[in-house]
């Protein structure tokens, strides 16, 4: 892509508006809001959102601001609202979990609380992943991701539980991170541990979609999982066929979910762009709950492997960001094995040509 797509703050602002304010954006997992009153905060661009579950068990999402004078309502990243109430720290306006204004002191007889609920936004769940839409969706989340439903059904993603989270701050444009994730030609030179376990030329990709890109890779030799030594220390995820046990699926669900489905666990990365050259990446490892309660449950092999691989990737993405800032930079050609990157570039370019 031309240089401005990676370095121009105005281009970044336009992309944020189109990709993150007008698409379904992954913000977390349904298990974080399993009970009424549970919540987590999500930051999309400069916006802060509250995701919670009301007393009827309905998932809700609201802008994190009071209707009185716009004060940020909540700062703790996740937890549970005491007494099922959301109380503004400034003048104590108080809201229910459904967003209704319950209390507003000293407002007079002509004031109607019904006129000032929290600003609600669209929220939905796909296979345990929580998505928010700040605009008017053209498709439901289920419609958008319908082509993946059957492909990923055997992994039962909604059943898996988060075990570990690492947050990375990467000094690179979000698109460079997606591009890096979507090819493995760099693996022999950058990821020696990964290259011992899988064939970097063995990827089988699905035809690109406007909503996602990705494919699968098989294991080398006796390797059975992606870990420091390739030895599987957990049971296969229930429901996987013999063929599925031999593959790892790597997918990008636009605009920000990097999904890695392994025979014995799931790895996710959520990209949250903070600036044209700064992306926050929330990486989480998810395992089957029946494995997690076993006294001999192990996870460090998978966590250490991907933490090392992540840091190798983030470093090269930061070097790419430094390079594309050069006055000498011009776009280079993709190889035939970088078709997913080309497909992603087309989505970005076509989206940029549309009126918001």
pLDDT digit string, tens, across residues 172-221: 999 999 999 999 999 999 999 999 999 888 888 888 899 999 999 999 99
Sheet holding 161-170: strands in order across? 161-170, 278-287, 266-275, 257-261, 247-253, 212-218, 204-205
Please count the other Cβ atoms lying within 10 Å of the Cβ belonging to residue 63.
Answer: 19
* Parts of the chain belonging to CATH 2.102.10.10: 25-133
What contacts 332, CB < 8 A, 6 or more positions away? none
Per DSSP, 16 falls in state I
Average pLDDT over every residue of 300-327: 98
Average pLDDT over every residue of 323-350: 94
Spell out where the chain has E strands: 25-29, 38-44, 47-53, 59-63, 78-80, 85-87, 94-96, 101-103, 122-126, 129-133, 161-170, 204-205, 212-218, 247-253, 257-261, 266-275, 278-287
| 114 alpha carbon, distance to own chain's centre | 34
Please count the other Cβ atoms lying within 10 Å of the Cβ belonging to residue 110.
Answer: 5
- CATH 2.102.10.10 is right for the domain spanning 25-133: yes
Cα–Cα–Cα angle for 34, 36, 38, rounded to 5 degrees: 60
Residue 185 contacts residue 18 (beta carbons within 8 Å) = no
Residue 128 contacts residue 31 (beta carbons within 8 Å) = yes
* Parts of the chain belonging to CATH 3.90.380.10: 147-353
- Looking at the chain, the number of H-run helices and the number of E-run strands are 10, 17
pLDDT higher than 60, residue 297: yes
Per DSSP, 331 falls in state P
Q: Domain 147-353 carries which CATH code?
A: 3.90.380.10
pLDDT higher than 80, residue 43: yes
Average pLDDT of the chain to the nearest whole number: 95
What pairs with residue 260 in β-bridges? Answer: 250, 267
Residue 20's SS3 state is helix
- The 10s digit of each residue's pLDDT in 244-278 is 999 999 999 999 999 999 999 999 999 999 999 99
């Amino acid at each position: 892509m031309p240089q401005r797509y990676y370095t121009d703050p105005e281009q970044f602002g336009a992309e944020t508006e189109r990709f993150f304010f007008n698409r379904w954006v992954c913000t977390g997992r349904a298990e974080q809001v399993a009970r009424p009153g549970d919540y987590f905060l999500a930051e999309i661009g400069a916006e802060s959102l509250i995701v919670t579950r009301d007393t009827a068990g309905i998932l809700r999402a609201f802008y994190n601001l009071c209707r009185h004078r716009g004060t940020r309502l909540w700062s703790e990243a996740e937890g549970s609202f005491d007494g099922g109430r959301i109380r503004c720290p400034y003048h104590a306006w108080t809201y229910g979990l459904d967003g209704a204004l319950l209390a507003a002191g000293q407002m007079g007889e002509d004031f109607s609380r019904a006129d000032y609920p929290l600003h609600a936004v669209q929220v939905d769940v796909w296979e345990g992943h929580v998505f928010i839409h700040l605009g008017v969706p053209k498709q439901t989340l289920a419609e958008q991701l319908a082509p993946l439903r059957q492909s990923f059904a055997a992994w039962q993603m909604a059943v898996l539980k988060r075990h570990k989270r690492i947050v990375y701050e990467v000094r690179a444009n979000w698109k460079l991170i997606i591009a890096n994730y979507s090819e493995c030609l760099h693996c022999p030179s950058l990821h020696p541990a990964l290259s011992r376990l899988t064939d970097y030329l063995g990827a089988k990709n699905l035809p690109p979609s406007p909503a996602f890109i990705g494919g699968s890779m098989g294991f080398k030799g006796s390797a059975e999982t992606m870990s420091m030594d390739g030895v599987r220390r957990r049971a296969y995820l229930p429901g996987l066929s013999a063929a599925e046990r031999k593959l790892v699926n790597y997918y990008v669900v636009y605009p920000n979910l990097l999904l890695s489905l392994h025979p014995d666990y799931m790895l996710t990365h959520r990209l949250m762009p903070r600036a044209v050259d700064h992306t926050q990446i929330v990486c989480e490892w998810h395992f089957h709950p029946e494995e997690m309660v076993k006294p001999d449950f192990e996870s460090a092999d998978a966590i250490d492997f991907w933490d090392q691989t992540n840091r190798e990737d983030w470093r090269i993405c930061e070097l790419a960001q430094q390079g594309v800032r050069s006055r000498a930079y011009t776009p280079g050609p993709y190889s035939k094995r970088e078709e997913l990157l080309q497909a992603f570039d087309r989505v970005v370019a076509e989206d940029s040509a549309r009126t918001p």
